[in-house]
């Protein structure tokens, strides 16, 4: 029951975050202008860069929180890990702020291609956006601990509140008070500081009062967690290179206006991965408990069900986006230039991210066992191939080259690496995983999306909206029916209705 409740809460919260961003962000372009919006787009990219770096200690704290619930005296150790990690994060944030002060001027004047904005405004904006990212980096530690304690309903309520303030409040600011992009980033900094205070207080409040509150750094409890944390941190660094090398190169190769278009594409395809996270966040603690308890059969069953759900949700989104790339961007922004520029780029990135969402699920199997050696090796191998390929494609062939390279590497990873992980952690499961959990939904969704007419309800924006919504609901509902458990419940329900 808790698992279902957390999954629903995670999806409601995540859908709200995604929909709010999708609805509001194009309006920023209207009030700020295309070039200033490029800075907002850069802001979303910078946050992604820094948030990916928290994937070492923060997930480890979440795992320690899950373990604490399964142990009689687990919270005593958890509290020491929490305070120790907090101090480590504080040092890292200090280093980020120091680097920001030193480097923001060079980045604004020598790297970005500014056309009409004042350089001083660009420099201040860059500095402020990095400050915001650093503050949110610190807050990610407490978020992970709260999620690990399965207080996910609370965390999603907080997400809804602060996302509303961040997006809708920011829109009100630029629409009615000031369209100065610097003021926008000041507002974001104030909100991030408030959010940090809220989640930190909640995390410490969740530690039972019976636990001795002796604040400090405890090497004795940190040391055993380091192999796991460093494994995740290393692969997170690799992941930053893999996923962000194109943006790093193109931020200096494209004009701010074109880079703004590129970040629109990144935001759309990033949503494909985001909608898989609520499910993974909900089942990851339970998978860890099954692994720790030696319940292999239950672990595999939950893993297969999780993969089926991710395939249904993420592949539906990926194929609908890919085959409606141009109308989707036009519907979203009302900007024909942005739609034309984004069409092919969005197609390849959407397909690549759909494959990634499904292929990445094998990581949670390794996470549950706390054994990341194979994950580290796979990430290193992937980076050795992917980083130079994408860097070369982005530098020589621009955004479209990067998109095609991304798709190609993701497809190869799915075909060749996922079976290796399954052989190591779930021997004999791969064929069942592929044929029952992935392919039925994938083939159905592809067929419907490919043959679905783009202008079924007309070519105006209302018609495009109706068409995309109808297609999305169709492929999503019927892909869910590809899942045996859901199909049987669905047929059982309607059977009982007709029998009455």
pLDDT in tens, 200-225: 999 999 988 878 778 889 888 888 88
Last residue of a domain, one of 224, 258, 286: 224
295 inside domain: yes
Instruction: Tell me the pLDDT tens digit for each residue of 282-309.
Output: 788 888 888 888 888 988 888 888 888 8
Same domain membership, residue 144 and residue 4: yes
pLDDT exceeds cutoff 70 at 250: yes
Same domain membership, residue 201 and residue 104: yes
Same domain membership, residue 169 and residue 286: no
Same domain membership, residue 281 and residue 216: no
234 inside domain: no
- Report the pLDDT value the prediction gives residue 260, as an integer from 0 to 100: 86
Give the distance, in angstroms, between the CA of residue 341 and the centroid of all CA atoms in the same chain: 24
Mean residue pLDDT of the chain comes to 86
Same domain membership, residue 50 and residue 112: yes
Mean of pLDDT values over 406-431:
93
Same domain membership, residue 295 and residue 440: yes
pLDDT exceeds cutoff 60 at 499: no
Same domain membership, residue 10 and residue 85: yes
Residue 366: how many other CB atoms lie within 10 Å: 20
Same domain membership, residue 173 and residue 298: no
Same domain membership, residue 453 and residue 332: yes
Last residue of a domain, one of 203, 224, 245: 224
- Residue range of the domain that includes 413: 275-500
Instruction: Tell me the pLDDT tens digit for each residue of 111-135.
Output: 888 888 888 999 999 999 999 999 9
CB 311 within 8 A of CB 441: yes
Same domain membership, residue 284 and residue 214: no
246 inside domain: no
490 inside domain: yes
pLDDT exceeds cutoff 50 at 498: no
Instruction: Tell me the pLDDT tens digit for each residue of 36-67.
Output: 888 988 888 888 777 666 666 777 888 888 88
Same domain membership, residue 284 and residue 164: no
- Report the pLDDT value the prediction gives residue 497, as an integer from 0 to 100: 41
Q: What three-state secondary structure class fits 179?
A: coil
Q: Which residue has the tokens 């200033």?
A: 36
Instruction: Tell me the pLDDT tens digit for each residue of 92-117.
Output: 899 989 998 888 888 888 888 888 88
- Report the pLDDT value the prediction gives residue 57, as an integer from 0 to 100: 72
99 inside domain: yes
Tally of structural domains, the chain:
2
- CA torsion 91→96→99→100, rounded to 10°? -140
pTM of the model: 0.74
Give the residue, 247 or 177, on which the prediction is more confident. 177
Instruction: Tell me the pLDDT tens digit for each residue of 135-173.
Output: 999 998 999 889 888 788 888 899 899 999 999 999 999
- Report the pLDDT value the prediction gives residue 490, as an integer from 0 to 100: 55
Q: From CA 293, how far away is CA 369, in angstroms rounded?
A: 10
> How many angstroms separate the first and last alpha carbons of the chain?
28
**Residues 6 or more apart in contact with residue 343 via CB below 8 angstroms:** 325, 326, 329
Token pair of 105, please? 């001027």
pLDDT exceeds cutoff 80 at 254: yes
Last residue of a domain, one of 191, 206, 224: 224
Same domain membership, residue 325 and residue 399: yes
Give the distance, in angstroms, between the CA of residue 196 and the centroid of all CA atoms in the same chain: 20
CB 171 within 8 A of CB 29: no
CB 274 within 8 A of CB 357: no
């Amino acid at each position: 029951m808790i698992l279902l409740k957390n999954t629903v809460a995670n999806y409601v919260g995540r859908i709200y975050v995604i929909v709010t961003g999708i609805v509001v962000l194009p309006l920023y372009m209207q009030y700020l202008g295309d070039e200033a919006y490029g800075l907002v787009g850069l802001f979303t990219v910078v946050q992604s860069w820094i948030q990916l770096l928290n994937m070492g200690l923060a997930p480890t704290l979440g795992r320690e929180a899950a373990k604490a619930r399964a142990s009689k005296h687990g919270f005593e150790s958890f509290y020491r890990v929490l305070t120790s990690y907090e101090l480590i994060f504080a040092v890292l944030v200090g280093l980020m702020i120091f680097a920001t002060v030193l480097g923001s001027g060079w980045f604004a004047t020598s790297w970005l291609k500014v056309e009409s904005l004042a350089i001083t405004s660009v420099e201040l904006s860059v500095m402020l956006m990095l400050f915001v990212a650093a503050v949110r980096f610190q807050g990610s530690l407490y978020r992970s601990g709260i999620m690990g304690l399965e207080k996910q309903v609370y965390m999603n309520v907080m997400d809804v509140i602060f996302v509303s303030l961040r997006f809708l409040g920011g829109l009100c600011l630029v629409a009615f008070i000031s369209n100065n992009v610097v003021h926008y980033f000041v507002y974001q900094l104030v909100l991030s500081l408030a959010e940090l205070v809220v989640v930190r207080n909640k995390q410490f409040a969740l530690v039972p009062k019976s636990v001795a509150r002796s604040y400090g750094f405890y090497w004795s409890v940190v040391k055993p967690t380091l192999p796991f944390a460093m494994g995740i941190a290393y692969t997170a660094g690799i992941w930053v290179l893999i996923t962000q090398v194109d943006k790093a190169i193109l931020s200096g190769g494209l004009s701010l206006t074109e880079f703004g278009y590129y970040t629109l594409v990144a935001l759309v395809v990033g949503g494909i991965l985001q909608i898989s996270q609520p499910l993974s966040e909900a089942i990851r603690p339970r998978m860890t408990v099954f692994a720790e308890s030696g319940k292999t059969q239950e672990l595999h069953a939950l893993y297969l069900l999780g993969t089926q759900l991710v395939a249904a949700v993420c592949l539906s989104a990926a194929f609908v986006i890919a085959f409606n790339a141009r109308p989707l961007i036009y519907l979203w922004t009302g900007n024909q230039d942005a739609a034309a520029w984004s069409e092919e780029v969005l197609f390849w990135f959407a397909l690549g991210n759909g494959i990634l969402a499904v292929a990445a699920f094998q990581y949670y199997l390794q996470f549950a066992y706390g054994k990341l050696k194979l994950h580290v090796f796979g990430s290193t191998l992937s980076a050795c191939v992917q980083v130079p390929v994408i860097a070369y494609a982005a530098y020589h062939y621009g955004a479209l080259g990067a998109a095609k390279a991304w798709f190609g590497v993701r497809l190869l990873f799915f075909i060749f690496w996922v079976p290796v992980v399954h052989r190591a952690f779930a021997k004999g499961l791969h064929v069942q995983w592929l044929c029952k959990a992935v392919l039925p939904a994938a083939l159905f969704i592809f067929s419907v999306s490919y043959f679905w007419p783009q202008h079924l309800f007309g070519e105006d924006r209302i018609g495009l909206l109706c068409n995309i919504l109808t297609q999305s609901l169709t492929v999503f509902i019927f892909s869910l029916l590809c899942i045996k458990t859901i199909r049987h419940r669905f047929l059982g329900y309607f059977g009982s209705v007709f029998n009455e």
